[in-house]
Amino acid sequence: MLGKLDWSAIPFDQPIPLVAGAVVLVAILAVLIWVVVRGHLPYLWHEWITSVDHKRIGVMYILLASVMLLRGGSDAIMMRIQQAVAYQSQGYLPPEHYNQIFSAHGTIMIFFVAMPFVIGLMNLVVPLQLGVRDVAFPTLNSVGFWLTATGALLVNISLVVGEFARTGWLAFPPLSGLSYSPGVGVDYYAWSLQISGVGTLVAGINLVTTVLKLRTRGMNYLRMPMFCWTTLASNLLIVSAFPILTATLAMLLLDRYLGFHFFTNEAGGNVMMFMNLIWAWGHPEVYILVLPAFGIFSEVVSTFSGKALFGYRSMVLATMAICVVSFMVWLHHFFTMGAGPDVNAIFGIASMIIAIPTGVKIYNWLFTMYGGRIRFATPMLWSVGFMVTFIIGGLTGVLVAVPPADFMLHNSMFLVAHFHNVIIGGVLFGAFAGFEYWFPKAFGFRLDERWGKAAFWFTFTGFWITFMPLYIAGMLGMTRRLQHYDVAAWRPWMIVAAFGMAVLSIGVICQIMQLVVSIRNREALRDRTGDPWDGRSLEWATSSPPPVFNFAFHPDVRGEDAYWDMKARAQQQSFEHDVPEYQDIEMPRNSPTGFVCAFFASIMGFALIWHIWWMVILGGIGAFATFVVFAWRDHDEYVIPAEEVARIDRVNLEERRSLVSMAGAV
Amino acid sequence: MAMTATVGHAHADPHHIGVVIEHPGPASKRIVTAYGFWVFLLSDIVMFSCFFAAYAVLSGQTADGPKGSEIFEQRNVAIETVCLLLSSFTCGMASIAADVRNRFWFYLGMAVTCVLGVIFLVIEFREFADLVARGYGPSRSAFLTSFFSLVGCHGLHVSAGVLWLLTMMAQVFAKGFRADVLRRMMCFALFWHALDIIWVGVFSVVYLLGGAP
């Protein structure tokens, strides 16, 4: 009846996951009770859960990423403490638990923190920057988000029901095969990634189509803000790389469920094929994450230097070059696995070549700052911190791209330090910069600068104290994923790293405090004009938060930095002589399709993990029925009458006029 | 916001070639939908390419089991291929019928497409069942693993296509040729034709190359 599921799935003998699970459960219940008792449920349902508004979906993506960042961060803290104490002892985490923790940490941080964070920012900002009212496929967008949330849910369920994979975040066979991992851990891993992978693919298709087909009048390709370009590149990578992940995990699952022989040791299976396939997805994945971050830095650096981005066209070229070359370097993840010197040399050179467009970007940002009037607001701090940090990560990357050096450093703590250096220093700093930069746009008030700056400095120093020692430990020969060790020389560096983790955690607490303080002081921090940073691109041309239709009129774009142009022209001519004629606007209706679909996907995923076949069929039928019901509805749009559009738009127009005339007077 | 003012388009012609191409604004729904679906199809083809790659890698790994030439029956495959190619034609007829709002020809075209698709699936299913009965199931060898997965993945797509086809017929029956129904019909036609293209790949790589002794 319930497949493999019974009471032995609950780890009653392990207090850590049980207590953690209980705390989370209580927290969720408390929030739910609060929502229901205070009567917020209808609001949540109508305005958020069923929303197909790209801004709302973007915010929900970022919320999901933030919550999962805390989960993945807790895993990180546990690992740092374990390695600080587990010198010549077992530490406090048993091996099978420790292995689950590092696997969950990697999986969560990449798939459920970094991915939703950048996809959320792209969702929130890109249609605004393009000057349009929505993304290409609003309801699919909602489906994509909720499927991502389903994946995150399944990973978290594994904490208390059953176990998570003990295989590392990419589940290499034969370890992840049925003979070496007979439990449900790998199944949790694979099914949650399959489901959230569908969500990511949907988001990718949606954003590619949005950028290529939905741009306002005059928004030629070479007038798009840099963030739109990097979004395009990143999502092109999503649609071409994520199907590889889907296929690879499908093969692994077929091996595990139906006795196939893709990656087994027996009957002619080929383990190296898994390595090639998973990294043919895995390396582009790195650029899927970091390219949007590059776009964010471009926007931030240009805005806070008060200058147009230096070398815009070279930046576009560099972005697309990275997009293409990122597909030609995957083998550098396994130089040591016997491809031979010629193949290794070619992939080593290709990997080093990627440093060239990346270097172009760094110089472009530096030259954008050169001669500018730089304002060191929090987003700018994250950007400058990124440049300093990312350079080191990039250089160590070039180092491990040299095959002979890689033979020394492969799977060492040096590698761990390297990829944290680029992912934290690049993606996470970028996500935080974007968060600080666009928060006023999303919510209509700025974030508190004092707490923001404190968060930056603690995170920044904490990062350096945590990860520089790992480089050294790697040089001293420490391999990754060690549950305990006997080498005295490593110990001091592990203790320093644990101390750094504490500093990093203070940064996280500051970030939370910043949110709390800002929400409390939101009236004082209110952004009335919609342009709190003296911005340059179109998202600042509408109010904060933008109305559901984003723009009363599709803006007419005449060059790069569209909004900067508009402001400049508006100071010369006055606004007075152009009296806009408002028209009715059609917007897509909200739909619970995404939520319902994800509900059935969750049931199906859980049932597949535990081999509860009747429930799998039920979930499948439910998901199909949801689509049919969606396809059957007769009214998928509603009309906002012109008077309503006018009323909403005039308020913001007044504020903006007074701002421009004030600036003109100065 | 001075959005309607007319100012010289200074940056529209960066290379001074005298041709000013201004982006006209957001594309129509029909174009957006078709474009997005094309992007999906490309991603789907990437997924198939992984299974093709796996077949290429594993096709020699027979683990003392049968080789391709010993189990493939060219006659069945020829019938399957004819069915699919014909169904692409009838699907095209149904698309034209939808464009001119002719219900009779639409239903007829879709029904024939459906029948041909089902015949294809039945033949494929019988081939699979026969192999499994002879002990040559997917767990016999890595070659059979990759064969069943590649061909089966295509078969699953065809099954999903048949389900979609029936849903489309029901939609036209219930809703008529509404704009959104026509957009979905366009996507369905793209999907069905793409499956044909993939089958041409399967036919060539698996049955023709693999069928050689």
Per-residue pLDDT band for A662 (boundaries 50, 70, 90) equals low
What pLDDT band is residue B68 in, cutting at 50, 70 and 90? Answer: confident
Query: In whole angstroms, what is the distance from residue A416 CA to residue A474 CA?
Result: 8
Cα–Cα dist A507/A429, whole Å: 12
pLDDT, chain B, mean: 87
Nearest Cα to A655, choosing from A559, A526, A557?
A526
Any CB–CB contact under 8 A between B156 and chain A?
no
Q: Which SS3 state, helix, strand or coil, does residue A485 take?
A: strand
Cβ contact (<8 Å) for B174 and A214? no
Cβ-based burial of A543 (10 A; exposed 0-12, middle 13-18, buried ≥19): buried
Specify the pLDDT at position A584: 87
Q: How close B14 comes to chain A (CA, Å)? A: 10
Percentage of residues in chain B with pLDDT exceeding 70? 90
Of B10, B12, B43, the CB nearest to A240: B43
Instruction: Note whether A311 and A362 are within 8 A (CB).
Output: no
Do the Cβ atoms of B49 and A245 come closer than 8 Å? no
Among chain A residues, CA nearest to B181: A631
The SS3 call for residue A87 is strand
Query: What was the pLDDT predicted at B209?
Result: 84
Confidence class for position A364, pLDDT limits 50, 70, 90: very high
Min Cα separation A49/chain B (Å): 24
> How many C-alpha atoms does A227 have within 13 Å on its Cβ side?
32
pLDDT for residue A639 is more than 50 = yes
- CB–CB of A241/A281 below 8 Å? yes
Q: Does the distance separating the beta carbons of B1 and A566 come in below 8 Å?
A: yes
Axis-axis angle for helices A341-353, A355-369 (nearest 10) = 10
Give the pLDDT band (50/70/90) at residue B14. low
Q: What are phi and psi of A447, to 5 degrees?
A: -90, 150
| Span between the terminal Cα atoms of chain B, in Å | 73
Using pLDDT thresholds of 50, 70 and 90, give the confidence band for residue B9: very low
Q: Is A242 on the interface with B (CB under 8 A)?
A: yes
Cα dihedral across residues A151, A155, A157, A162: positive or negative: positive
CB-count burial class (<10 Å; 0-12, 13-18, 19+) for B133: exposed
List, as ranges, residues 274-293 from A with C-beta within 8 Å of B: 277
User: What residues of B are in contact with residue A546 (Cβ under 8 Å)?
Assistant: none
Share of chain B above pLDDT 90, in %: 61
C-alpha triplet A435, A441, A443: angle, nearest 5°: 85
Q: Does B188 lie at the interface with A, CB-CB under 8 angstroms?
A: no
What gap in Å lies between CA B162 and CA A336, rounded to an integer? Answer: 47
- Say which residues have a Cβ less than 8 Å from residue A550's Cβ, sequence separation at least 6: A127, A128, A132, A133, A134, A542
Is pLDDT above 60 for A490?
Answer: yes
Q: Which residues lie across from A445 on neighbouring strands?
A: A526
pLDDT of residue A576: 47
Is A269 close to B61, i.e. CB distance below 8 A? yes
- Position A262 scores a pLDDT of 92
Structural Rg of chain B based on CA atoms: 23
| CA closest to B166 among chain A residues | A628
Confidence of residue A286 (pLDDT cuts 50, 70, 90): very high
Residue A378 has pLDDT above 90, yes or no: yes
Residues 36-75 of B with CB under 8 A from A: 36, 39-40, 42-44, 46-47, 50-51, 53-54, 57-58, 61-63
CB contact under 8 A, B47 and A541: no
Torsions phi, psi of B72, nearest 5? Answer: -80, 135
pLDDT of residue A277: 94
Q: Cα–Cα distance between A419 and A485 in angstroms, integer?
A: 22
Two tokens, residue A130: 């393009």
Question: Whole-angstrom Cα distance, residue A275 to residue B53?
Answer: 13
One-letter amino acid of A51? S
Q: Hey, are the CB atoms on A553 and B42 less than 8 Å from each other?
A: no
pLDDT at A23: 86
Name the residue type at position A257: Y
Q: Phi, psi at residue A579, to the nearest 5°?
A: -95, 105
* Cβ neighbours for B9, distance < 8 A, ≥ 6 positions apart: A218, A558, B20, B22
Q: Is there a contact between B14 and A222 if contact means CB atoms under 8 Å apart? A: yes
- Give every CB contact of residue A26 below 8 A, 6+ residues apart in sequence: none
Q: For residue A455, what are the CA distances in angstroms to A377, A383, A505, A513?
A: 13, 14, 10, 9
Look at residue B8 in the predicted model and tell me its pLDDT. 41
Please answer whether residues B120 and B28 qualify as being in contact, where contact means their C-beta atoms are separated by less than 8 angstroms: no
> What is the b/e burial string over A451-468, where b = at least 16 CB atoms within 10 angstroms of the residue's CB?
bbbbbbbbbbbbbbbbbb
A263 secondary structure, DSSP code: S
Which residue in B has a C-alpha nearest to residue A274's C-alpha?
B54
Q: What is the pLDDT of residues A14-40, one digit of tens each?
A: 777 788 888 888 988 998 999 899 888
Rounded Cα distance between A550 and A491, Å, is: 55
Residue A281 pLDDT more than 60?
yes
pLDDT at B7: 40
pLDDT at B10 over 50: no
pLDDT band of B166, cuts 50, 70, 90: very high
What's the pLDDT band for A647 if we cut at 50, 70, 90? confident
Residue B5's pLDDT is: 36
A637 C-beta neighbours (distance < 10 Å), count: 9
Which among B47, B149, B163 is the nearest to A260, CB-wise? B149
Helices H, strands E: what count in chain B? Answer: 7, 0
Q: How far apart are CA A9 and CA A18, in angstroms?
A: 12
* Region A481-487 average pLDDT: 91
In percent, how much of chain A has pLDDT > 90?
57
Given pLDDT bands bounded at 50, 70 and 90, which one contains residue B175?
A: confident
Q: How far is CA A241 from CA A79, A233, A279, B46, in A?
A: 30, 12, 10, 8
- Report which residue type is found at A210: T
Cα Rg of chain A, angstroms: 25
Report yes or no: A582 at the B interface, CB cutoff 8 Å.
Answer: no
- The closest of A555, A553, A556, A557 to A584, measured between CA atoms, is A553
How many of the other CB atoms lie within 10 Å of CB of A576?
Answer: 7
Instruction: Tell me the average pLDDT across A462-477.
Output: 94
Q: What distance in Å separates the CA atoms of residue A664 and residue B7, rounded to the nearest whole number?
A: 20
Structure tokens at A205: 């298709």
Cα nearest neighbour of B44 on chain A = A243
List CB contacts of A308: < 8 A, sequence separation 6 or more.
Answer: A302, A368, A536, A560, A561, A564
The per-residue pLDDT for range A379-400, each reduced to its tens digit, is 999 999 999 999 999 999 999 9
Report the C-alpha gap between A13 and A127 in whole angstroms: 50
Compare CB distances from A247 to B25, B50, B61 and report the shortest one's residue. B50
pLDDT in tens, A209-227: 999 999 988 888 888 999 9
Q: How far apart are CA B206 and CA B195, in angstroms?
A: 15
Say which range, A126-130, A201-205, A276-280, B16-20, has the weakest mean pLDDT: B16-20
- Which tokens in the block code for residue B43? 């991603």
The size of chain A, in residues, is: 666
Q: How high is the mean pLDDT of chain A?
A: 90
Q: Is residue B16 over pLDDT 80?
A: no
Instruction: Give pLDDT, residue A381.
Output: 94
Find, among A76, A83, A93, the residue nearest to A491 by Cα: A83
The pTM score is 0.92
Whether chain B has a CB inside 8 Å of the CB on A402: the answer is no
Instruction: Please answer whether residues A24 and A68 qualify as being in contact, where contact means their C-beta atoms are separated by less than 8 angstroms.
Output: no
Q: What is the mean pLDDT of residues A149-157?
A: 92
Interface test with A, best of B4, B51, B145 (most A CBs within 10 A): B145
Q: In whole angstroms, how far apart are CA B75 and each of B81, B83, B116, B122?
A: 10, 13, 16, 15
CA A441, A444, A450, A454 dihedral sign is negative
A44 has pLDDT over 60 = yes
How many angstroms separate the CA atoms of A451 and A459, rounded? 12
Nearest to B151 by CA among B189, B125, B130: B125
Rounded to whole angstroms, the Cα distance separating B86 from A556 reads 49
Chain-centre distance for alpha carbon A316: 22
Task: Name which of A16, A125, A121, A137 is nearest A64 in CA terms.
Answer: A121
Residues 91-150, chain B, touching A (beta carbon < 8 A) = 138-143, 145-146, 148-149
Banded model confidence at residue B1, pLDDT cuts 50, 70, 90: very low
